[in-house]
Chains A and B, each alone.
Chain A
């Protein structure tokens, strides 16, 4: 048993004091005397030609500097697929799309100018869901899909509404399905919705006289923004700096390129003056992207013992009007299409379809909460048909080391213990398939179980870097490209560095703002990879610094560098501990008593790049796209009022194999937060559209999110099968807690009422209607 000094301890999050005392400044708190302000004019149509935009009144309104419309835009932006003009050009494709922006001296003046812009539309027929989008006679959302730039891994189908299609073909699914003892098939769906991060998105851009562009942004992905801005606007990347201060919640919604392109164009239009563009809550929900919707059809075949032998998975995603991250979410769902189960024969078509809904970007779980809803529901359906305990059925099909993923990637020694996770939640939820009657004819309780897995869906070159510098007292500064988004990764990284120096995390200082010109390159603070990749880079940087420290110290201590140890701020020979020197006398170079100095300061450098990831075969999906899989099991207990359909999630258990828990309290906080978000996703979140695809709940009066009194009693556990290439064996754990929640709750509710719930959100009215339905 290793005794850790810093790792596996609940060190309080570094930023917490400022956050809980209201001192934390977010980007919108920033102001400067020459700052101009932007406001957005949003479309009140979901699909319409823009016939005319009359800015004559707005442009002469007080304080107005500039009005920009689609006519001022000459190129598209996009993450993987360049399909989106920063301002709608020619037509609008969703309700709330930006059709004009005003730049004025004050925000009030910009908002007032927006009201004076008159737009004439000609309505076009709309596409209301992804299945309709695939029909032959569906209106085309993007007529010029063939003209858009895209990366090779994304395969749009011009002349249709398909932005990407990912295929998985493993084994012989058709033959296996024919041979199956039993097959079950069903459809599952949910609408697009919003992340509802506490901080709406903000971007502030300025251009210096010599062409240097600085953009402050509430982003999770400053390096992605830098790369894409440079690429799409033909800018010299060395002249583009993105600064990411702490962000008030991302959940994936700030992981791509958001308002930054528009803010740049706005600053450019006013001679490079700084311009700040801040979303209102409503524009954050409508004009900026939200979470994806899904229509899924799943067929599962099993032998008479319940062993899965074939699966057919059709995931049709509602990308909304633009592709953004959605084309990669659909790809991620294909890669993990079976859920954490060993299925040897697999067919999957995962399609990203355009509709006239607000567009979708990354959302916690990234394709996995989506696929898991369908997979976990069909497994419960199978268990019912087979009359088998759904938890036992999951255990016998759990994926293990040596099995192959849907992309035929071998599950290596790092594969977590899913059966162990299932056993743990079985115990903590006090598992039973019985329905408990609390009040005869009125209140009943039931339990549901679901499993989860997630691999980060990211470029094969995903990387991280860390630079360690030192203070006069020997303490350490860590500079990484990981953005603080409320997840606490910086504290975890400080603990990892402290552990390397055998000291407490108090001796490690973290730098909060990320500046792409100063901090080392880092792919993005997304995909639950900050702790693992940033942590590995920091760990390597610590090793590098320790090597340098030992070398410097070895000179005055007159020994070999490898004879030395570092602990508690001292460098010493372990078996002769009086031969020592404090770090403070080493880290900025050693000075002899006569004033001579040697070696100079210590600068630790660490880097990480994902190991042996590959592209996948476009016809079969074969390849090694997954860096690490987190496996886990979750279970819910619900209490249902069968008279009016109202219900509560009263207990929720979760056990994930995370390799190593670096900070128990932060880990628990991440999982509880993720489950809470999943409960909201299952019970009430999602956009409601009218017949013209206009959003009916575009504010927080009507779009409800989780509140404290909706919280269940949480039982959170972790298993620790080490990730050998992770810091102290750790994997990521930020997103995963959400993945099994919709399945666990709907499985519990379906058992409670004896009917299949295949669509979320399940509101009391939905449940009531289902209870009333004839069998």
Chain B
């Protein structure tokens, strides 16, 4: 039960949604973009959030797009994880996203919700960070397109009144081979203490990670190390020393255990993928 009232809007197109979002914000309201509700409903029940209004974007066509446009794979932010996994346009995304929560949650949880919500794991962003991805963002002035790598630092940078519409990733990602691994505290349906992917194309290796740090990353300087002429042991040690921030230490796992899992998993994946 959600023990407070809020205004509910269900706009039919992006312009309407964006206009509404900005108007409500200007009125001083706490407004949340809503689709699957897996975080919003549970956090509202516990009164951890008190939105004055929610804007349900499920009815907007652009947010429900899932297509191959010839050059790019396009994913609307309102797609459920299950829809993405079922269609399987982007196998690396399907593989990583299918590990999030459980099936009942994935039927509701959306791509946009996983990436822009309150929970810090954002596992579905990792495959997008590992390719050339454009984020389509709705603003008060209309749609804008930004390079995901530039727009995503600790999370996707959205100004007040902006929301994510689509992610478009270059199809060249499909040519890369990949391996992923996911570690949890005990039982599979849990937050990741480590969820990582390695891609490789003609000897070029790239690493994407969620759960290890306070934010997901696919970092150029880390990838440079992986492509140096070093042994796997040397690469792994150097990567650990050059992570973009400190390894997380929380109730799910200690910093040391996360570090150990990362190190052994990185070595294992590099080995499996041929040593490089």
CB-nearest residue of chain B to A688: B251
A678-716 CB contact bits vs B (8 Å, 1 = yes)?
A: 000001100010000000110101101011011000000
User: Which B residues between 8 and 65 are near A, CB-CB below 8 angstroms?
Assistant: 42, 45-47
Q: A115-B47, A644-B261 are in contact. Are A764 and B185 (CB under 8 A)?
A: yes
Cβ of B186 and Cβ of A684 under 8 Å apart? yes
Give every chain A residue within 8 A of B183 (Cβ-Cβ). 644, 646
Q: A282-B46, A765-B253 are in contact. Are A112 and B189 (CB under 8 A)?
A: no
B11 to chain A, nearest CB (A): 27
Bound together, the chains give a CA A644 to CA B193 distance in angstroms of 12
CB-nearest residue of chain A to B261: A644
Bound together, the chains give a CA A704 to CA B252 distance in angstroms of 11
B263 to chain A, nearest CB (A): 10
Cβ of B257 and Cβ of A768 under 8 Å apart? yes
Give every chain B residue within 8 A of A112 (Cβ-Cβ). 3-4
Cβ of B187 and Cβ of A644 under 8 Å apart? no
- Whether A472 is near chain B, meaning CB under 8 Å from some CB there, is no
Bound together, the chains give a CA A74 to CA B200 distance in angstroms of 72
Bound together, the chains give a CA A709 to CA B99 distance in angstroms of 13
Give every chain B residue within 8 A of A108 (Cβ-Cβ). 1, 3-4
Cβ of B1 and Cβ of A763 under 8 Å apart? no
Give every chain B residue within 8 A of A764 (Cβ-Cβ). 185-186
Cβ of A704 and Cβ of B186 under 8 Å apart? yes
A149 to chain B, nearest CB (A): 38
B119 to chain A, nearest CB (A): 9
Cβ of B3 and Cβ of A111 under 8 Å apart? yes
A95 to chain B, nearest CB (A): 15
- Whether B260 is near chain A, meaning CB under 8 Å from some CB there, is yes
Bound together, the chains give a CA A763 to CA B191 distance in angstroms of 15
- Whether B204 is near chain A, meaning CB under 8 Å from some CB there, is no
Cβ of A765 and Cβ of B1 under 8 Å apart? no
Bound together, the chains give a CA A107 to CA B251 distance in angstroms of 32
- Whether A643 is near chain B, meaning CB under 8 Å from some CB there, is yes
Bound together, the chains give a CA A701 to CA B260 distance in angstroms of 24
Bound together, the chains give a CA A187 to CA B202 distance in angstroms of 56
- Whether B67 is near chain A, meaning CB under 8 Å from some CB there, is no
A39 to chain B, nearest CB (A): 8
Give every chain A residue within 8 A of B261 (Cβ-Cβ). 644
Cβ of A644 and Cβ of B264 under 8 Å apart? yes
Cβ of A111 and Cβ of B185 under 8 Å apart? no
Give every chain B residue within 8 A of A696 (Cβ-Cβ). 251
B241-276 CB contact bits vs A (8 Å, 1 = yes)?
A: 000000000010110010011001000000000000
Cβ of B187 and Cβ of A765 under 8 Å apart? no
Contact of B186 among A115, A763, A769 (CB under 8 A): A763
Give every chain A residue within 8 A of B150 (Cβ-Cβ). none
- Whether B190 is near chain A, meaning CB under 8 Å from some CB there, is yes
- Whether B234 is near chain A, meaning CB under 8 Å from some CB there, is no
Cβ of B186 and Cβ of A644 under 8 Å apart? no
Give every chain A residue within 8 A of B185 (Cβ-Cβ). 684, 704, 763-765
Give every chain B residue within 8 A of A763 (Cβ-Cβ). 185-186
Cβ of A107 and Cβ of B190 under 8 Å apart? no
Number of interface residues of B (CB under 8 A): 22
Cβ of B251 and Cβ of A683 under 8 Å apart? no
Cβ of A697 and Cβ of B257 under 8 Å apart? no
Contact of B260 among A644, A702, A706, A709 (CB under 8 A): A644
Bound together, the chains give a CA A646 to CA B187 distance in angstroms of 10
- Whether B238 is near chain A, meaning CB under 8 Å from some CB there, is no
Give every chain B residue within 8 A of A699 (Cβ-Cβ). 46
B120 to chain A, nearest CB (A): 13
Contact of A107 among B1, B186, B253 (CB under 8 A): B1
Bound together, the chains give a CA A764 to CA B254 distance in angstroms of 12
- Whether B188 is near chain A, meaning CB under 8 Å from some CB there, is yes
CB-nearest residue of chain B to A442: B268
Bound together, the chains give a CA A91 to CA B60 distance in angstroms of 54
Cβ of B251 and Cβ of A702 under 8 Å apart? yes
Cβ of B264 and Cβ of A697 under 8 Å apart? no
B193 to chain A, nearest CB (A): 9
Bound together, the chains give a CA A360 to CA B108 distance in angstroms of 37
Bound together, the chains give a CA A677 to CA B4 distance in angstroms of 36
Give every chain A residue within 8 A of B1 (Cβ-Cβ). 107-108, 111
Give every chain A residue within 8 A of B4 (Cβ-Cβ). 108, 112
Give every chain A residue within 8 A of B190 (Cβ-Cβ). 704
Bound together, the chains give a CA A282 to CA B45 distance in angstroms of 11
Bound together, the chains give a CA A699 to CA B48 distance in angstroms of 13
Most chain B beta-carbon neighbours within 10 Å: one of A644, A697, A707: A644
B102-134 CB contact bits vs A (8 Å, 1 = yes)?
A: 000000000000000000000000000000000
A688 to chain B, nearest CB (A): 6
Cβ of B254 and Cβ of A765 under 8 Å apart? yes
Bound together, the chains give a CA A396 to CA B25 distance in angstroms of 76
User: Which B residues between 149 and 208 are near A, CB-CB below 8 angstroms?
Assistant: 183, 185-191
Bound together, the chains give a CA A709 to CA B103 distance in angstroms of 13
Bound together, the chains give a CA A643 to CA B181 distance in angstroms of 14
Give every chain B residue within 8 A of A111 (Cβ-Cβ). 1, 3, 47
Give every chain A residue within 8 A of B45 (Cβ-Cβ). 280
Bound together, the chains give a CA A107 to CA B189 distance in angstroms of 31
Give every chain A residue within 8 A of B260 (Cβ-Cβ). 644, 768
A85-126 CB contact bits vs B (8 Å, 1 = yes)?
A: 000000000000000000000011001100100000000000
Bound together, the chains give a CA A683 to CA B46 distance in angstroms of 28
CB-nearest residue of chain A to B186: A684
Bound together, the chains give a CA A346 to CA B109 distance in angstroms of 58
Give every chain A residue within 8 A of B264 (Cβ-Cβ). 643-644
Contact of B187 among A107, A282, A643, A710 (CB under 8 A): A710
A214-228 CB contact bits vs B (8 Å, 1 = yes)?
A: 000000000000000
B140 to chain A, nearest CB (A): 34
CB-nearest residue of chain B to A641: B264
Contact of A704 among B3, B47, B187, B254 (CB under 8 A): B187
Most chain A beta-carbon neighbours within 10 Å: one of B4, B42, B187, B189: B187
Give every chain A residue within 8 A of B253 (Cβ-Cβ). 765
Give every chain B residue within 8 A of A768 (Cβ-Cβ). 257, 260
Cβ of B188 and Cβ of A107 under 8 Å apart? no
CB-nearest residue of chain B to A115: B47
Most chain B beta-carbon neighbours within 10 Å: one of A646, A688, A702, A765: A765
B186 to chain A, nearest CB (A): 4
Bound together, the chains give a CA A769 to CA B46 distance in angstroms of 35
B31 to chain A, nearest CB (A): 21
Give every chain B residue within 8 A of A643 (Cβ-Cβ). 264
B52 to chain A, nearest CB (A): 15
Give every chain B residue within 8 A of A701 (Cβ-Cβ). 42, 191
Bound together, the chains give a CA A697 to CA B47 distance in angstroms of 17
Q: A107-B1, A112-B3, A112-B4 are in contact. Are A765 and B257 (CB under 8 A)?
A: yes
Cβ of A697 and Cβ of B3 under 8 Å apart? no
A642-653 CB contact bits vs B (8 Å, 1 = yes)?
A: 011010000000
A-B pairs with lowest CB-CB distance, top 6: A111-B3, A684-B186, A108-B3, A765-B257, A763-B186, A704-B187
- Can you list 18 A-B contacts with CB-CB less than 8 angstroms, sorted by A residue number? A108-B4, A111-B47, A280-B45, A644-B183, A683-B187, A684-B186, A697-B251, A699-B46, A704-B189, A707-B187, A707-B188, A707-B189, A709-B187, A709-B188, A761-B186, A764-B185, A768-B260, A769-B257
Report which A residues bind B (CB closer than 8 A): 107-108, 111-112, 115, 280, 282, 643-644, 646, 683-684, 688, 696-697, 699, 701-702, 704, 706-707, 709-710, 761, 763-765, 768-769
20 additional contacts, CB 8 Å, given A643-B264, A684-B185? A107-B1, A107-B3, A108-B3, A111-B3, A111-B47, A644-B264, A683-B186, A688-B251, A697-B251, A701-B42, A701-B191, A706-B187, A707-B187, A707-B188, A709-B187, A709-B188, A710-B187, A764-B186, A765-B253, A768-B260
Report which B residues bind A (CB closer than 8 A): 1, 3-4, 42, 45-47, 183, 185-191, 251, 253-254, 257, 260-261, 264
